């Protein structure tokens, strides 16, 4: 019955655990850390968008690292423990005066900021190509089909399908209403430095990327773009063209035709600065264009780094093996008295070996198994003193190798005869010695 209860309890615990596995709580641990005036404008399984009126900008949390994450989720593992989630702030977050430092407190409580991890510095890679385009575009062009999306008032998800639908609806409006009901906030505030930082974050150690970004940052167009806000009417008239250019640019990015992509995106920039992801995509296209020219050079440092990692890993594995297996074994051998005795015997240091047994027996005289070994050592040392004779006597009562038994028996019996002992024990030993002597003689006869 008790067994039944045990297994029932375990089964129930397991069932509760499995049933609640889907109730993902990554945002639950985060929400208590938000300041009261922070609004959650969008919440999905993979993404949480926060808004604070005072900094006047949104903050994007993603459950894993993505190109537009301000803060993303990762897992830490500790020995002996389960993996747990931590939040990692990207360079984008730390470099933004609206978020980092004291301003971060507008969004989060101190405890959260203290626990916030910094993005690990990227290991010196070659100027790499961006992640597969489809992967990157999925973020903006395809809604997450599997997730439960909780869109709150004021939040709007911009993707290609939405844009098309809204444009069609907008086109059908009477001309008078069109002006005041633009389908997309074309002039939504967007920080000009953001795309630069994104690219920088993606390849912060790449000289090429740095050079390109410096060019982008210092170029006349960048500054101009960042400040331009053209009149709405002009934008509206060219919207169809912009959209077609944008679609064409996206298709080129998908095909990794960076030249065509850059060309189309440049055009869009001229017509409608800061249009959707154009600045970002343009920077991406430029970096990829630059890196496409020298793929071998780019691959080389990675390869050599890989070799170093392999060698380092092999050394680490060897170190762990030595740590876990070899040295504990050596440690055991070093502290094992039997092993030390064997070592001394191998080197012919019988006295040292005997001393080890003497010390052990002094501490624990009841350990009978050491006496035969000690007696053998005394035999080799030729000892006949009183202490040795006591050891011989006790050893004779234990299992002894035949040859040692004969010799020890002879020594002890001689001692008894010398002392004139006639007690039962002495007689027993003498008889043994006599038997051994007869056996010896019988063996010798056939030879003689």
Partner 1 sequence: MKNYWPFATRNFLVISLLALPACLPAQRISDFKVGYSRTAIREATLEKVGSLEIDFYRHNFELELGVGQAFIGLTYQYATKKKNTEKIGNTFGKTEDGAMLTAGYNYIFSRNFRLDGYGRLRIAGETQPAQALYATEADAHLKLVLSDADGVSAFFNGAVFPSTYAGVNVNKFGRVQGLAGAAIWWNKIGLSLAGFNAFNGVNEALNPGKDVDKIFANLKNSGVSFGLTYEFHNFMIWAKKNFALKNGGNDLTLSLQYQKFFVKRRIKS
Query: By the criterion CB under 8 A, which residues form the site for partner 1?
Result: 2-3, 6-7, 9-10, 13-14, 16-17, 20-21, 23-26, 28-29, 32, 63-65, 72-86, 88, 117, 120, 316, 319-320, 322-324, 326-328, 330-332, 334-335, 363-364
- The Cα 412–Cα 389 span in angstroms is 7
CB of 111 to partner 1, least distance (A): 12
Distance, in Å, from the CA atom of 199 to the CA atom of 289, rounded to the nearest integer, reads 13
Task: Name the minimum Å distance from CB 369 to partner 1.
Answer: 13
Whichever of 117 and 211 has its CB closer to partner 1, that residue is 117
Tell the smallest beta-carbon distance from residue 35 to partner 1 (Å).
16
Which one, of 190, 184, 181, lies nearest residue 96 by Cα?
A: 190
Q: Which of 58, 70, 73, 80 is nearest to 25 (CA)?
A: 73
Taking the complex as a whole, how short is the minimal distance between the CB of residue 161 and partner 1, in angstroms? 27
How far lies 38's CA from each of 33, 61, 102, 109, 145, in Å?
10, 13, 15, 11, 28
Q: Which is nearer to partner 1, 294 or 367 (CB)?
A: 367
Longest dimension (CA), the chain: 138
Between 124 and 320, whose beta carbon lies closer to partner 1?
A: 320
CA distance 194 to 276: 12
348: CB partners within 8 A, 6+ apart = none
Give the nearer residue to partner 1 in terms of CB position, either 249 or 356.
Answer: 356
> Which segments of 248-320 are extended strands (E)?
none
Q: Which is nearer to partner 1, 117 or 179 (CB)?
A: 117
Tokens describing residue 47: 């993404």
In the numeric block, which tokens belong to residue 279?
């600045």
We find the least distance from the C-beta atom of residue 397 to partner 1, in angstroms, to be 21
Instruction: Report CA-CA distances (Å) from 233 to 179, 182, 219.
Output: 8, 10, 28
Q: Is 72 or 416 the residue whose CB approaches partner 1 more closely? A: 72
Q: How far is the CB of 330 from partner 1 (least distance, A)?
A: 7
Query: 12 vs 124, which CB is nearer to partner 1?
Result: 12
Q: How many CA atoms lie within 13 A of 132 on its CB side?
A: 3
Cβ-based nearer residue to partner 1, 37 or 76: 76
Select from 55, 63, 144 the least CA-distant residue to 107. Answer: 55
Residue 344, classified by CB atoms within 10 Å of its CB into exposed (0-12), middle (13-18) or buried (19+), is: middle
Shortest Cβ 365–partner 1 spacing (Å): 11
What is the enclosing helix (H) or strand (E) of 83? none
Least separation in angstroms between CB 276 and partner 1: 27
Query: From residue 17, how far is each of 13, 21, 26 by CA, in Å?
Result: 6, 6, 16
CA–CA separation, 7 and 12 (whole Å): 8
Residue 48: which H helix or E strand, with range? strand 47-52
Q: Kindly tell me which of 342 and 419 has the beta carbon lying closer to partner 1.
A: 342
Which lies closer to partner 1 via its Cβ, residue 54 or residue 111? 111
**Residue 240 or residue 322: which is nearer to partner 1 going by CB?**
322
Beta strand residue intervals within 101-216, DSSP E: 117-118, 150-151
């Amino acid at each position: 019955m008790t067994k039944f209860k045990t297994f029932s309890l375990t089964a129930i615990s397991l069932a509760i655990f499995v049933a609640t596995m889907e109730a993902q709580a990554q945002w639950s641990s985060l929400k208590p850390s938000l300041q009261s005036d922070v609004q959650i404008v969008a919440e999905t399984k993979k993404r949480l968008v926060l808004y604070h009126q005072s900094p006047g900008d949104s903050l994007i949390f993603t459950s894993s690292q993505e190109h537009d994450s301000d803060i993303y989720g990762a897992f830490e593992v500790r020995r002996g423990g389960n993996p747990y989630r931590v939040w990692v702030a990207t360079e984008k977050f730390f470099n933004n005066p609206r978020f980092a430092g004291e301003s971060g407190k507008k969004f989060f409580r101190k405890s959260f900021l203290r626990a916030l991890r910094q993005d690990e510095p990227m290991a010196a890679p070659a100027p790499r190509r961006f992640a597969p385009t489809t992967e990157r575009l999925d973020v903006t062009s395809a809604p997450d089909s599997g997730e439960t999306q909780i869109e709150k008032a004021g939040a709007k998800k911009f993707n290609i399908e939405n844009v098309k639908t809204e444009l069609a609806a907008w086109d059908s409006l009477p001309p008078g209403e069109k002006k005041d009901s633009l389908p997309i906030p074309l002039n939504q505030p967007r920080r000009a430095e953001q795309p630069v930082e994104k690219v920088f974050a993606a390849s912060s150690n790449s000289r090429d990327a740095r050079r390109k970004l410096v060019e982008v940052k210092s170029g006349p167009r960048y500054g101009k773009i960042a400040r331009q806000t053209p009149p709405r009417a002009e934008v509206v008239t060219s919207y169809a063209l912009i959209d077609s250019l944008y679609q064409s640019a996206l298709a080129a990015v998908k095909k990794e035709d960076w030249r065509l992509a850059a060309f189309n995106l440049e055009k869009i920039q001229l017509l409608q600065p800061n249009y959707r992801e154009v600045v970002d995509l343009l920077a991406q296209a430029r970096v990829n264009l630059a890196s496409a020219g020298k793929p071998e050079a780019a691959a080389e440092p990675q390869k050599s780094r890989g070799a170093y990692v392999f060698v380092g890993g092999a050394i680490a594995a060897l170190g762990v093996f030595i740590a876990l297996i070899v040295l504990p074994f050596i440690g055991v051998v070093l502290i094992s008295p039997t092993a030390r005795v064997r070592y001394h015997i191998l080197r012919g240091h019988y006295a040292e070996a005997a001393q080890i047994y003497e010390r052990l027996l002094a501490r624990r005289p009841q350990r009978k198994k050491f006496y035969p070994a000690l007696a053998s050592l005394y035999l080799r040392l030729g000892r006949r003193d009183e202490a040795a004779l006591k050891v011989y006597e006790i050893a004779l009562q234990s299992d002894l190798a035949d040859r040692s038994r004969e010799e020890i028996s002879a020594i002890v019996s001689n001692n008894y005869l010398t002392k004139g002992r006639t007690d039962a024990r002495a007689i027993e030993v003498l008889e043994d010695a006599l038997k051994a002597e007869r056996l010896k003689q019988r063996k010798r006869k056939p030879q003689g």
